Amino acid sequence: MRRYLSPLLFVAMAMFAVAPVLIERAPYEASMGLVQKIFYFHVPSAMVMFVSAFVCGIASVLFLFKNRPSSDHVAAAAGELTAVFGLIVLVTGPMWARRAWGVWWEWDARLTSSLLVELIFVAYLLVRKYGGPASEKLAAAIALFGMANVPFVYVSVNLWRTLHPRTTVAMTLPAGMKEPFWFSVAAFGLLYIALLTIRSWLGRERAELERAYLELEEE
Amino acid sequence: MAGGIAAAAAAPLVAQQPSPEPSVWELPQTAPQQGEFVPVKGLPQQEQLPAASLVMGAYAFVWVVLLLYVWSLWRRLGALQRELSDLRKRTAARK
């Protein structure tokens, strides 16, 4: 996997550089105009955040029940990336909302539940960093809770009356809008895979180093 | 009676003073006093929030966050490399 990492990262960054050109050429939305173009980064970030939360949760399950250290490294990496992409979603969304809805924030179902998931994964990272010995298992339990919330975040716009657009918007994009959107999704997806691989490898190497230090001290 | 005599006595004094500048309360109104609201379709251009700054700000934020994270990973990898190198030296010294 590591020999594909450099080309993967290069392709992802190249796609990121090209994406704004495609987005600029996309048509304006009738009711929102220019500000709707935040959609092309906001929604792919949200998709990556949800996927990452699931990766963290599933890796945490494997770590809790099978006790695999490699699963813990993947979980730690995915937890960090969930928080990073969640931050992007929670900042770009209000910037869009300010112009489209007239307010920066609204305590509706989608926004509130997204903030909750972000706070859960920030708590996951804090527990891992400051929780002391064996905090990985406690953090894994927190990740399970975070993963369980993600489906509710996704369906919230369909179940409750909210200001936020429904899930059908991304699936029913007209020609001209769907190409730059899916291009951005691919760019974010590739970048996520590259960053997840690098961060997991970092965790694995750190664990090997600590094991080597322990062996050295025991000698 | 006394008030009327005092007012009559003061009248010439007031008449001789130059007329003061009209106060703001007395200035003629340039716009008619609004008695009702008038609806309009679409906000005037000068009232609308600038969308361009919000869009550019959002894209800039995404780039900054991702670059900061990649920089953070690079820094941690560098620290790991240094510790590995240090460990190898200590292991070689013991042998």
**Global pTM?**
0.81
Give SS3 for A29.
Answer: strand
Would you say A117 and A150 are in contact if contact means Cβ atoms under 8 Å apart? yes
Non-local CB neighbours of A27 within 8 Å, separated by 6+ positions: A174, A176, A177
CB-based contact, A20 to chain B, within 8 Å = yes
Does B90 sit within 8 Å of A198, measured CB to CB? no
Length, in residues, of chain B:
95
A195 touches chain B (CB under 8 A): yes
Domains of chain A, by residue range, sit at 2-23+35-218
Decide if A188 contacts A48 (C-beta within 8 A): yes
Alpha-carbon gap, residue B45 to B48, rounded angstroms: 6
Distance in Å, alpha carbon of A139 to nearest chain B alpha carbon: 21
d(CA A76, CA A81): 9
- The residues, ordered by sequence, that sit 6+ positions from A42 with a Cβ below 8 Å of its Cβ are A88, A89, A92, A93, A96, B58
| A 48-87 near B (Cβ less than 8 A) | 84, 87
Q: Are A160 and A20 in contact (CB under 8 A)?
A: no
Is the pLDDT at B25 greater than 80, yes or no?
no
The shortest CB-CB distance from A198 to any of B62, B66, B73 is to B73
CA–CA separation, B19 vs A128, rounded Å? 81
Measured between CA atoms, the residue of chain B closest to residue A24 is B55
The per-type count for chain B, helices as H runs and strands as E runs, is: 2, 0
pLDDT in tens, chain A (219 residues): 556 677 888 888 888 888 988 998 888 888 888 888 899 999 999 999 999 999 999 999 999 999 999 999 999 999 999 999 999 999 999 999 998 888 999 998 999 999 999 999 999 999 999 998 889 999 999 999 999 999 999 999 888 888 888 888 888 888 888 899 999 999 999 999 999 999 999 999 999 998 888 888 877
Closest CA to A42 of B55, B92, B6: B55
How close does chain B come to A31, measured CA to CA in Å? 11
Phi–psi pair at B17, nearest 5 degrees: -70, 145
Rounded CA-CA distance A8/A185 in Å is: 15
In terms of CA atoms, which chain A residue is nearest residue B47?
A: A99
ipTM value of the model? 0.89
Q: Do B58 and A42 touch (CB under 8 A)?
A: yes
